[in-house]
Amino acid sequence: MKKFLLLAAFFAAFTMSAQEFTLTEVTSTNNVPTDKANNRQGFGMDGAFVVMDKVLGQINAYNVEDGSLIGTLETGATASWPAVTRDEAGNIIARVDNSWPGSFMADTVIMKIFPVGSNTPIDVEGNIFADFEAENGRCDFFSFIEGNVMEEGILWLVTAKSTGILKVPFVEGEIDGDHIALFPLEGAALSPTSSTVVNPYIAADGTKHYMLWTRNAQPIDMVMNESEDGFVATTFTLPNKGATNGCFPLTFGGKDLVIYTTLPNYGNAWAIAEKNAEEPIAVVPEVAGFVTNGFQCNWLNAEVVSENKAIIYQYFPGNFFKTYELTIGEEDFEINEAYLVGTFNDWNQTEEGGRVAFEDVDGVLTADGVEFEAGAEFKVIVPAEDGWTWLGGEDANGVGYFLINSDLMEVPITLCDGANFRMENAGTYKLEILASQLDKAASYALRVTESEPNAIETIATDKADNTWYNLQGVKFNGMPSVPGIYINNGKKVVIK
């Protein structure tokens, strides 16, 4: 019998009108350091939770699966401020000076940058408030940093006595002291606290926004003014918003969402909603049996990993780590035309470039007799409004391709430029696109099988003596006893 090589589900969302959001808890562990006095600000990133130990001056990374310690970054500080954050490139930045009631006033090392891929920190010196002495006040937590501090980045700071939002630019790992500026706020009251954060994000319409979250007032959405020296702000509401620290702006599924902490205050409940919505999209209720923390923190953030999936990280100090998947139900779509491209034709998408067309064979889109060398990679492309859409994988194996071999596999594929398929063994193959229906989304399956040898068509048969052959043309002395597919009197015969 032919070997069944691959069954892959294909999902796509051409429009957002009929989407449904689904929130699913993926991992949960209470294997967390329980000393809430030590472990304060934290966030999730690349499958790990990064947490600041303010007493030991350590930044610890914990595995999302079981809470085990992955590694520790030593900041060299003790009794430090607890602030730790990251930039958009994944560099980790921590405050390490010990002037807890002060306001970055000393000309000393005030932060350390841990660049991506390195455990050797870069000392950041500066006197941030040299020109803004009136801005004294505590700053307990850092916002996420805009850009890349090793190239160009911006940390937006708000202290307990701020009259505006302080822009602290970074250039090549150093604070650009000549361009520190205080941005005034127009259209809303700042209502600062010692734990106010300003997180940048790109809205669904493609414009840059900044979300300001403070415990004691409504959140604020901001855009820069025309002269780019101040913010124009609009307050907004969220259903059942709590006064606990922890929020994150998430642009996903064509919507501007907010992941935020809910009542009761200082607990571990949270929700997802659009700004000014009457009802949230998803609600995660209070987890019973866990003690609320006195540091008013329930840290939440998210990573968008594909067009239809985001990973949400929740770190509740001293209690647990959890991750969730936020997914989108896609609208139905139909594939009527498809082509195969890959290393065999240098990925050329034109007909002249040797792309392989799927033909309609008894209602199934089929590409038969396709020859692949060992290690050859390919994708399927289908027409789209702006040219072509690639059918590729999400690369769950982390190597950039999905290996097709004799094992049975089922690989989720999206209509996007995802991972390739790679043939483990050279041969001639048949590919079929089969329609199916999974959950709420229209889907397709790609079946890859070994093509039947054409040599059987040239076998000379002797009808008079009832000769039997196998599919490779080997002649038998009589009717075979082993189950399989054979040729007898010029016809295929299945023996069971």
pTM above 0.75, yes or no: no
Tokens for 220? Answer: 């604020």
What is the rounded CA–CA span in Å between residue 132 and residue 139? 15
Helix, strand or coil for residue 206?
A: coil
Give the model confidence (pLDDT) of 239-291 as tens digits: 999 999 999 999 998 899 999 999 989 899 999 999 999 999 999 999 887 77
User: Of 75-79, 139-143, 222-226, 331-335, which has the strongest mean pLDDT?
Assistant: 222-226
The 475-476 sheet, strands edge to edge: 475-476, 468-470, 484-488, 491-495
pLDDT at 413 over 90: no
Helix, strand or coil for residue 107?
A: coil
User: Which residue reads 């700053």 in tokens?
Assistant: 139
Fold of 4-13+331-450: Immunoglobulin-like (2.60.40)
Tokens for 426? Answer: 């050279």
Fold of 20-329: Neuraminidase (2.120.10)
What is the rounded CA–CA span in Å between residue 73 and residue 119? 7
Q: Which of 71, 130, 138 is nearest to 102 (CA)?
A: 138
Strands (E), 180-306: 181-183, 185-186, 197-202, 208-213, 220-224, 231-235, 247-252, 255-261, 270-274, 282-284, 299-306
Q: Where in the chain is the domain with CATH 2.60.40.3620?
A: 4-13+331-450
What is the rounded CA–CA span in Å between residue 6 and residue 391? 14
Residues with Cβ < 8 Å from 65, sequence gap 6 or more? Answer: 27, 29
Give the model confidence (pLDDT) of 143-201 as tens digits: 999 999 999 999 999 888 888 999 999 999 999 988 999 999 999 999 988 889 999 99
Q: Where in the chain is the domain with CATH 2.120.10.30?
A: 20-329
